[in-house]
Amino acid sequence: MATTITNGIQVSVKASYTPEHSVPSEPKFIFSYRVRIQNKSRRRVQLLRRHWYIFDSYGLRREVEGDGVVGEQPILNTGEVHEYDSWCNLASDMGKMYGKYLMVDMATQERFEVAIPDFNLIADFRKN
């Protein structure tokens, strides 16, 4: 599991290959991932946007931006956790992702970024 803390917000990500949804002959490799966001700061915050950087082993790079995460813009009080599951597709059996969230302090309306750590996307059959 990859973990980082930025501005008192801890983000952890665990990815896994989903062979039941993948079709290597196309090539289409599907990876799921679970994100855990914990507010370790003393402020009440809201996640407004996400920005992902997605790479495969062929050197292809994509960016995905948008409001919230899986249709939500969660508010986290001190100590609270928000978890969600999502997925991405690659044209190769290996890659990586990382990104950032845009958040806002609910009391001051100050906006700030929170890093999403690098994590690898590797099909199970590529692992030793």
The count of structural domains within the chain is 1
Examine residue 128 and state whether it is found in any structural domain, yes or no.
no
Residue 25: exposed, middle, or buried by beta-carbon count in 10 A (0-12, 13-18, 19+)? exposed
Q: What is the largest CA-CA distance in the chain?
A: 52
Q: Domain range for residue 99?
A: 2-123
CATH number of the structural domain spanning residue 53: 2.60.40.1470
Tell me the pLDDT tens digit for each residue of 10-45. Answer: 999 999 999 999 999 999 999 999 999 999 999 999
Residue 61 lies in a domain: yes
pLDDT of residue 11: 98
pTM (two decimals): 0.94
Domain for residue 98, yes or no? Answer: yes
What is the rounded CA–CA span in Å between residue 45 and residue 57? Answer: 36
In-domain check, residue 102: yes
Confidence of residue 73 (pLDDT cuts 50, 70, 90): very high
- Amino acid at residue number 10: Q
